[in-house]
Amino acid sequence: MMHNNKFLGFWTILRKEVIDNLRDRRTLTTMGISIIVGPLLMFGFLWFIEKTVNEETDLVSAKPIELPVLGASKAPNLMNWLAQNNIEVVELNLDAASDQDQAIDKLVSEGEKLMILEIGSDFATSFEQSKTAPVRLIHDSSISGVKKIGFSTVQQVLARYSSTIGQLRLQMRGMSPQIIRPIQINISDVATAEARNSEILTMMPYLIVIFIMVGGMYLAIDTTAGERENGSLEPLLTQPVKRSHIMLAKLSATAVFSALTFLLVLVGLALSFKYVPIESITVSVDSAKVLIIFLSCLPFVFVACALMVLIASFTKSYKEAQSYLGMVMLVPSLPLVMLGILAPEPSVSNMWVPSLSQGLIIIETIKGEAIASPLIALSMLSSLLFAALLSYVAIKLYQHERILG
């Protein structure tokens, strides 16, 4: 025999739970979904971002923005300026008889035109006298999405024209334009393409951690609260197997499915990175990275499973266990929120925290930045310790008569 007789009960229960749950459609559906939905969520999101960004760029740079102008002839210089800035001026002609202001507002509010520029009737006179010349830009602020970009571009171009003319006027009077520019703001973005990716990649730990939990959830419930509800826990406890072995076997079966789901999600994500054409993402997840992430995050599988089995053991029924575990799923995502907001560097002070440390390992590994192996060892050891502690409490609970409910 491959195993010591002492652990016969353990292996028998572990094997039975695995076979039993492989026949459970819920378990299989969860795993099947994990390999498809994980990447779909991730890349659907990325694809959407990229599409939006592309459309934005197209709109701003490639295609001229169409701008209907009323009274264009009163401001030929401004029209030239607009044309130079890739804005296509379209002369707007309205019936002279009707109320022009109202007619314009109606055109925009009804969505016929995105925006209209109205040159005031005394624009030319005011301009010549170096006074503030009025123009009116009519738009609909309830319009959302990329259409808004046209409006803000026109606004910026107009503002630039205004400040350029202002500067010229000052210079003509022998004054430095700097007088009306007390400070100059210089912005430098030093982010590399990879680092910008990593911002999006903070999603990865969420997905992975959640699927690790989901993958083991049904077993955690089925082997504890489910078994009790089914009335088979008591017969099982009358078998000549130590309760600690029964508990550990159930925990191990849960971990098997959780780890399997974890691996499937990782492979799914890696394949998607390879075959889904998203130009803005220049990340590759090869099999080496998958292996590193899987092995170094494996201890978290035990933490998650021990936590779920422990909670499910406390509950009285399948349904109660389900609702509690739904909430428990939030616990390991809290450190990941912190990870998303603060983006800490891996260090001794954070690599002992389960879930947070795995999140860091996942992100850094995908980015191709190696984490010092002592830090990875710290993460693994600490998580194993947490798992051992939770398992110990669960075993203690199983020694208690109350487990029979």
Partner 1 sequence: MIEVRDLKKYFGKVKAIDGVSFSARDGQITGLLGPNGAGKSTTLRVLYTAFNPDSGSALIDGLDVVQDSLAVRSSIGVLTHGAGIYERLTARENVRYFGQLHGMSGHELNARIDELVDMLEMQDFVERRSKGFSQGQKTKVALARALVHKPKNVLLDEPTNGLDVMATRGLREVILRLKDAGHCVLFSSHVMQEVAALCDEIVIVAHGQVAASGSPDALRNATQESNLEDAFVKAIGSEEGLL
**What is the contact surface with partner 1 in residues (CB under 8 A)?**
5, 8-9, 12-13, 16, 19-21, 23-24, 227, 230-232, 234-242, 401, 404
DSSP assignment of 322-377: HHHHHHHTTTTHHHHHHHHHH-PPP-TTTTTSTTHHHHHHHHHHHHTPPPPHHHHH
DSSP assignment of 1-50: --S-GGGHHHHHHHHHHHHHHHT-HHHHHHHHHHHHHHHHHHHHHHHHHH
**Which residues, listed in sequence order, are joined to residue 119 by a DSSP beta bridge?**
135
What's the closest the beta carbon of residue 303 comes to partner 1, in angstroms? 28
What's the closest the beta carbon of residue 22 comes to partner 1, in angstroms? 9
What's the closest the beta carbon of residue 8 comes to partner 1, in angstroms? 6
**Whose structure tokens read 């009804």?**
110
H or E, element range at 69:
strand 65-70
How far is the C-alpha of 147 from the C-alpha of 141, rounded, in Å? 10
What's the closest the beta carbon of residue 20 comes to partner 1, in angstroms? 5
Whichever of 230 and 287 has its CB closer to partner 1, that residue is 230
Q: Identify the CA nearest to 194 among candidates 368, 52, 371.
A: 368
Whichever of 23 and 173 has its CB closer to partner 1, that residue is 23
Q: At CA 220, angle to CA 328 and CA 315, rounded to 5?
A: 65
Whichever of 227 and 364 has its CB closer to partner 1, that residue is 227
**Which residues, listed in sequence order, are joined to residue 65 by a DSSP beta bridge?**
87
Whichever of 118 and 227 has its CB closer to partner 1, that residue is 227
What's the closest the beta carbon of residue 236 comes to partner 1, in angstroms? 8
What's the closest the beta carbon of residue 344 comes to partner 1, in angstroms? 45
Structure tokens at 105: 């507002």
DSSP assignment of 173-194: TT--GGGG------------HH
Whichever of 300 and 398 has its CB closer to partner 1, that residue is 398
Whichever of 7 and 294 has its CB closer to partner 1, that residue is 7
What's the closest the beta carbon of residue 2 comes to partner 1, in angstroms? 13
Whichever of 111 and 231 has its CB closer to partner 1, that residue is 231
Please report, for residues 300, 360, 371, the alpha-carbon distance to residue 345 in angstroms, rounded to integers and kept in the order given: 20, 8, 10
What's the closest the beta carbon of residue 12 comes to partner 1, in angstroms? 4
Whichever of 302 and 398 has its CB closer to partner 1, that residue is 398
**Whose structure tokens read 């001026």?**
89
Whichever of 107 and 233 has its CB closer to partner 1, that residue is 233
What's the closest the beta carbon of residue 32 comes to partner 1, in angstroms? 18
Contact between residue 136 and residue 74 where contact means Cβ atoms under 8 Å apart: no
